Structure formats: structure tokens, C-alpha cells
Amino acid sequence: MITLQSDIVEKEVIKVVKEICDALKIDAVINNVCRPGDIIKSQVLLTVIDTIGEALGVKIPKDSYIFREKNHKELSIKETAQKIINVAVYEK
């Protein structure tokens, strides 16, 4: 079993968010303090949660929207990475 490290998770989320921005021609600075939910619609972000989990070798539960808190606060990539680490289900 692997243990996720925040810097690795942040890099993967940044990579995926940059790919989305490039595909949608969104000009934005993507780093660990940006909030993807402020620049990309949640429906689009929802589609990449499994992709991020697969790249990291974990499953992210379907009921965990990693880019926002339940109080509707958009999370930074740094906060998103920590949420992924907290909710990740490690495969045996």
C-alpha cells in the first residue's frame, strides 16, 4: 500500500486542472493556491475525480467532491490535495 504525500497529490491535481484549462482555452494561473472551482464548472471537475484517483493509485469515494467543502467553500489545490489524502481508499 502506498501512502499519499501532499506534494505528489498537488502536482497531479495541478496537471489535471491545467489540462482542462488548456482544452477549454481558459487562461488562468494554476498553482497550489488557486481554486479550480472558481475557474472551471463543477460538472467538468466532477468528471476528472476518478482520473486523479487512478493516477494516484487510490479510489476517491463517489460522494466526496474533492474541490469544495460541504459549506460550498471552493478549495485551493493545496486543500484539495489534503482532502484527497483524507478520503482516499487504498486498494490492497
pLDDT in tens, the chain (92 residues): 567 999 999 999 999 999 999 999 999 999 999 999 999 998 999 999 999 999 999 999 999 999 999 899 999 999 999 999 999 998 76
Distance between CA atoms of residues 80 and 67, nearest Å: 6
Q: How far apart are CA 58 and CA 71, in angstroms?
A: 25
Is 79 inside any structural domain? Answer: yes
DSSP output for 74-86:
BPPHHHHHHHHHH
Query: What percent of the chain is helix, strand and coil (3-state, nearest 5)?
Result: 50, 5, 45
What are the beta bridge partners of residue 68? 74
Is 52 part of any domain? yes
How many domains are there within the chain? 1
Tell whether 55 is covered by a domain: yes
